[in-house]
Amino acid sequence: MSAKIKNQLKEIMLMAWQFVRRNGYTMAEALKCAWANYKLRTAMASRIVKFYFIKVDGSIREAWGTLASNIVPETKGTDRKANDTVQTYYDTEKADWRCFKRANLIRIA
C-alpha cells in the first residue's frame, strides 16, 4: 500500500474516531460521515459541489461550495487557529467563505 493511501486512510479513521468521541456516533455512522467529508473535500478541491448539512439551529442547508484555487478569490493571511471540527468552503451562491460542523454533513449531491 502506498504512503499516500495510508495517509488518506489514517485521516479518515482519525476523523471517524473524533465523531465517536465528540458526537456519540457509532463507529459505522462515524466512518460513513468521515468518508462523506473526505469525498466532499476532495471534490471541492477541483470543482463546485452541491451538498447538504444540518445547521446549528437544526435546519437543513443546501450549499454550493468549492475550494478550487481557480474559482476562490485570493485570501489574505489570518490569525485564526485552525479548527479540525469544521469544514470551511467558498460558497459560490453567497460569494463568501462559510463553514459547517463536519459531523453535520448529510450528503453530497
Mean pLDDT, residues 74-102 taken together: 88
Task: Give residue 79's pLDDT.
Answer: 72
Give the domain range for residue 20: 3-76+83-108
H-helix or E-strand containing 92? none
Dihedral pair phi/psi, residue 5, rounded to 5°? -65, -40
- Say which DSSP state 65 is in: E
pLDDT band at 98 (very low <50, low <70, confident <90, very high): very high
Structural domain count of the chain: 1
pLDDT band at 109 (very low <50, low <70, confident <90, very high): confident
pLDDT band at 75 (very low <50, low <70, confident <90, very high): confident
